[in-house]
Amino acid sequence: MAIQWTPNLSVGVDHIDDQHKIWFEKANDLFEAGKNRRSKEVIGELLGFLDDYTKQHFRDEEAYMKKIGYPDLDKQVAAHKHFVEQLAKLKQDYESSGGSLTVIINANQMVLSWLTQHISNMDKQIGVYVKNMK
């Protein structure tokens, strides 16, 4: 299940790529914690970190897109909002399930799918736009 950030996921904007790398690392930490049946508190902390980090990353990314006049900013903001809502629901499901491993596996699948699909289909377009600006 673990997935690593690879150069083909590069957006081409260093600060965005650096944040994506950390996101992948923490998502993998979450999966490993669930797989190894770490304590509910450890997994809860990782979910909390991912939630906080995701919101910060989205704020940073959206501010950058606004600064450069990125034409699809509204689509990105809508996608980000939807993901934050999904992540909040997963955190709630995890807490209400008493720390279910199934919820953690589902959380990881959702996060990793988001990372690869969103980066490949939407975020890479930011890099294309920046490259064309030069």
CA angle 30-4-23, nearest 5°? 50
Pairwise CA distance, residues 72 & 75, whole Å:
5
Pairwise CA distance, residues 27 & 73, whole Å:
25
Q: What is the pLDDT of residues 40-97, one digit of tens each?
A: 777 778 788 888 988 999 999 999 999 999 999 999 999 999 999 988 888 888 888 8
CATH superfamily of 12-133: Hemerythrin-like (1.20.120.50)
Q: Are 133 and 127 in contact (CB under 8 A)?
A: no
Question: What integer pLDDT is reported at residue 47 of this predicted model?
Answer: 80
Report pTM.
Answer: 0.84
Q: Are 11 and 124 in contact (CB under 8 A)?
A: yes
